[in-house]
Amino acid sequence: MYARARLLDAGNKPLLASKLPARKNLIFHYPYATTPCFLINLGKPARTRTQLKTAGNESYEWTGGVGRAGSIVAYSAICAHQLAYPTRQISFISYRAEAGTQNKQAEVIHCCAEHSQYDPAAGGRVVAGPAPQPLAAILLEHDPKTDELAAVGTLGGEMFNQFFAKYEFKLALENNGAVRRPVTGSAVVTELDHYCRQQVRC
């Protein structure tokens, strides 16, 4: 578990689960200010209780989406293969609602670097490509009274240490040296289209 972070919209108001657009790429940073995550409303209930394994053969169970329809999921946006991730300039990895040339299946998270694909309705399990383990899931809480969402932790094989080791210099330059600043209190969610200048489609 990491510190609880309430999810906010771009106007810094609580993000309401029932207002999340379906099948769109939304992004926030958690559990560190430098580690991006996808927030996706799948538009239908996510399968529950998926048994998964990390690259180190550790088993864990993903218990499904949250929100009134159980359709809202979140995953680390750092590819479990070689750590491609969405930056302000470019993103090789994103959720694809529709099938394309390389992603024959619709509704996958696809990394164009070497075409790893992950199923966001099944705990981020690998459905194609060289990734050795699922995307790390972000644990979400939904308050049925207020309809608010919060990130509270991660589940599965985190890649944060490898990510910091690989990109430390770049992240330090971009964040005034604060490479591992934990997110606490809140995290702002934005559309990937607004966050990232160029999205690679493959």
Applying CB under 6 A, which residues contact ligand FES? 79, 81-82, 84, 111, 113-116, 129-131
Q: Between residues 58 and 114, which has the closer beta carbon with respect to ligand FES?
A: 114
Per residue, the 3-state secondary structure of the chain, as one string, reads CCCCEEEECCCCCECEHHHCCECCCEEEECCECCCEEEEEECCCCCCCCEEEECCCCCEEEECCCECCCCCEEEEECCCCCCCCCCCCCEECEEEECCCCCCCCCCCEEEECCCCEEEECCCCCEEEECCCCCCCCEEEEEECCCCCEEEEEEEECCCCHHHHHHHHHHHHHHHCCCCCCCECCEEEECEEHHHHCCEECCC
Minimal distance, residue 83 CB to ligand FES, in Å? 6
CA dihedral angle for residue 33, residue 38, residue 43, residue 47, rounded to 10 degrees: -110
Q: Between residues 65 and 124, which has the closer beta carbon with respect to ligand FES?
A: 124
Minimal distance, residue 174 CB to ligand FES, in Å? 20
Q: Between residues 186 and 199, which has the closer beta carbon with respect to ligand FES?
A: 199
Q: Between residues 14 and 100, which has the closer beta carbon with respect to ligand FES?
A: 100
Minimal distance, residue 81 CB to ligand FES, in Å? 3
Minimal distance, residue 78 CB to ligand FES, in Å? 9
Q: Between residues 123 and 129, which has the closer beta carbon with respect to ligand FES?
A: 129
Minimal distance, residue 131 CB to ligand FES, in Å? 6
**Euclidean distance between CA atoms 59 and 27, whole angstroms:** 27
Q: Between residues 33 and 128, which has the closer beta carbon with respect to ligand FES?
A: 128
Instruction: For residue 39, list its beta bridge partners.
Output: 26, 74
Minimal distance, residue 110 CB to ligand FES, in Å? 9
